[in-house]
Structure formats: C-alpha cells, structure tokens
Amino acid sequence: MGHLEQNPIAGMPKPKRTVRQEFLPVSIWPCLLEAASDQQFRDWLTVMLASGARTEEMFKFKAEHFDGGRFVLPAEDSKGRRESRIIYLPEPALSIVERLIQENTKGALFRNRKSNPWNRNSINC
C-alpha cells in the first residue's frame, strides 16, 4: 500500500509445503459410529468414512448427483471448481444412499432428525 519503504519480510526463507490431511484410522471407525447420537448422523458418518468424501461434499449431495454406484458432483460444486468430482460408493454406503434417495428425492440427501439438511454448524454440534 506504499506505507513502508522496505519490505521487512523480503528474503526470509519460506517454510516447506506440507500436506494438511489427517486420516482417521479404520480401527476407530466402529467407536465413532457407536458414539453417533442417532441413525441420521450414523448414516452421514458411514457414507463419508466409506467413500472418502469430503465434509463439504456431503452437504451438497442430492439424488440428482447419484449415478449408479457413485456420486458425480458438477465442477461448480467440486473443490477447485475445475472439473467434476466422482465419488464411488462401496457397501454399506451404497445401500444407505439408495435408501435416502427414496426418502429425499429433492434437495439435500443427508438430513437430521428434523429433516433439515446437515450443515457445518449442525455437524460440529
């Protein structure tokens, strides 16, 4: 903005880039699912853990994204917004999604006990 004559951090070494991903070991999944307060949250966790879907993607899934054994999120709903993201659904995630599609043909697939779509705040709580 022109307030300083010299850049005080010019020439400082940059820290190395690191991967910022943390994974839950498969061994704790049963404990996590057992701690889920209700079936709706257990379904959400099961699909997310089994498919490897990102949390933000779980909020966006709709019946129209389901394509016979997988979700296909359009580029505008995908991370980076450059290309579609394909998420394959192994069992038991596939059976949960097929059941939820029968229940929620419009709007978000994953909903809480009050039939409201999950969001960041509800998942954090």
> Which tens digit of pLDDT belongs to each residue from 7-49?
888 889 988 888 777 788 889 999 999 999 899 999 999 999 9
Q: Which residue, among 83, 81, 80, 100, has the nearest Cα to 92 in the 3D structure?
A: 100
- CA–centroid distance for 73 within its chain: 12
Average pLDDT, stretch 42-69? Answer: 93
Interval 35-64 mean pLDDT: 93
Model pLDDT, residue 90: 96
Cβ–Cβ under 8 Å, residues 112 and 122: yes
